[in-house]
């Protein structure tokens, strides 16, 4: 390994590198001092740490931020793998339905790539999952998820509504870092767009339980329109009509029903709540 060559290469790409590393001489001195004491095999790690410090974002990410991003990445892997199988299932009607699920699948794949890259760039280690680590039947609760279109949409809706609640719950953990907070918010609203569209698809396709219930793009009270108690934890709490101590029902003398008041605000879930919801989908 020729450190001089490596530094020269980086200098070509980033003329500022010595500013970041102090000076070339000090960088070399510092590195020589360290590398004299460590095993040859560790040198790449020592180098990595030197550059990581130089290129770290102005506010270095904390363990809390990296853990939060990895939690988000875990959920994105779940969604991404679900839609990959869903689109390939052969039961999605061609046309608008296939186009929509393909769009959503692609967004989830982009979220996986984006978060993995962000975590690596921040000096963390991104989690990684392969397709065979998931059980989308949730231990048999949704046994025919990839052969029953209505069930497939119901599971998709639950994943998206849960994802929205999960990101919302995690946002305060990122408040100290503008970059990661903003990125998480930008993913959060895309998940909400997905949720709305899937709910439209379910309303149009008509697999709703109890029969006669209307599933709108927004969540009414704690209704899912899904005939399985397995999903209820993803909707419990959405019936809330009090925000920051202010009662929203009929607020300001306006004719706001409890249903409207609940629809107007989505509710967060804690990491523990989300983990309990998604755990059955991991082998």
Partner 1 sequence: MLNNEKKEDQPVLIEGLAKPFSRRKFFGIMGAGTAVMVAAASCKKQDSGTVTNNTGVDLGSGDTGILNYAYALEQLEAAFYTQVIATPYTGISAMESSYLTDIMYHEVAHREFFKAALATKAIQGLEVNFSAIDFTSRDSVLGTAKAFEDLGVSAYNGAGQLITNPDYLTLAGKIVSVEARHAAWIRDMITTGSFGGTDVVDMNGLDVQRKPDDVLTIAGAFLKTKINASNLPTS
Chain positions contacting partner 1, by CB under 8 A = 96, 99-100, 103-104, 106-111, 113-114, 164, 167-168, 171-172, 175, 178, 181-183, 185-197, 200, 216-218, 243-246, 248, 251-252, 254-257, 260-261, 263-268
The residue (of 138 and 277) whose beta carbon lies closer to partner 1 is: 277
Q: To the nearest whole angstrom, how small is the minimum distance from the Cβ of residue 171 to partner 1?
A: 5
Q: To the nearest whole angstrom, how small is the minimum distance from the Cβ of residue 259 to partner 1?
A: 9
Pairing assessment for the beta strands 242-243 and 246-247 based on DSSP bridges? antiparallel
The residue (of 114 and 129) whose beta carbon lies closer to partner 1 is: 114
The residue (of 164 and 226) whose beta carbon lies closer to partner 1 is: 164
Measured CA to CA, the distance from residue 92 to residue 86 in angstroms comes to 8
Q: To the nearest whole angstrom, how small is the minimum distance from the Cβ of residue 278 to partner 1?
A: 18
The residue (of 21 and 177) whose beta carbon lies closer to partner 1 is: 177
The residue (of 108 and 155) whose beta carbon lies closer to partner 1 is: 108
Structure tokens at 270: 């804690």
Q: To the nearest whole angstrom, how small is the minimum distance from the Cβ of residue 98 to partner 1?
A: 10
Q: To the nearest whole angstrom, how small is the minimum distance from the Cβ of residue 124 to partner 1?
A: 18
The residue (of 104 and 277) whose beta carbon lies closer to partner 1 is: 104
- The answer to whether the CB of 150 falls within 8 A of the CB of 207 is yes
Measured CA to CA, the distance from residue 195 to residue 219 in angstroms comes to 10
Q: To the nearest whole angstrom, how small is the minimum distance from the Cβ of residue 121 to partner 1?
A: 13
Max CA distance (Å), the chain: 75
Q: To the nearest whole angstrom, how small is the minimum distance from the Cβ of residue 164 to partner 1?
A: 5
The residue (of 31 and 265) whose beta carbon lies closer to partner 1 is: 265
């Amino acid at each position: 390994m020729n450190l001089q060559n490596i530094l020269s290469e980086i200098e070509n790409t980033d003329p500022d590198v010595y500013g970041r590393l102090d000076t070339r001489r000090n960088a070399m001195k510092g590195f020589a001092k360290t590398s004299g004491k460590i095993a040859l095999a560790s040198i790449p790690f020592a180098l990595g740490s030197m550059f990581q410090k130089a290129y770290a974002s102005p506010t270095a990410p904390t363990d809390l931020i990296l853990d939060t991003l990895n939690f988000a990445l875990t959920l994105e892997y779940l969604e991404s793998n679900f839609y990959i199988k869903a689109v390939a299932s052969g039961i999605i009607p061609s046309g608008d339905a296939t186009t929509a699920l393909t769009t959503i699948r692609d967004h989830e794949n982009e979220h996986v790539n984006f978060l993995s890259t962000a975590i690596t760039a921040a000096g963390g280690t991104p989690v990684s999952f392969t397709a065979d680590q998931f059980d989308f039947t949730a231990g048999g609760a949704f046994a025919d998820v990839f052969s029953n279109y209505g069930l497939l949409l119901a599971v998709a809706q639950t994943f998206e509504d849960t994802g929205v609640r999960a990101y919302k719950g995690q946002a305060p953990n990122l408040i100290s870092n503008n970059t990661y907070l903003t990125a998480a918010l930008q993913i959060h609203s895309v998940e909400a767009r997905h949720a709305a569209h899937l709910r439209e698809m379910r309303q149009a396709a008509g697999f709703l339980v109890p029969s006669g219930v209307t599933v709108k793009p927004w969540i009414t009270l704690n209704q899912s329109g899904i005939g399985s108690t397995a999903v209820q934890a993803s909707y419990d709490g959405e019936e809330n009509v009090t925000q920051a101590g202010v009662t929203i029902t009929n607020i300001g003398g306006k004719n706001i029903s409890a249903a409207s008041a609940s629809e107007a605000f989505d509710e967060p879930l804690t990491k523990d709540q989300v983990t309990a919801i998604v755990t059955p989908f991991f082998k």
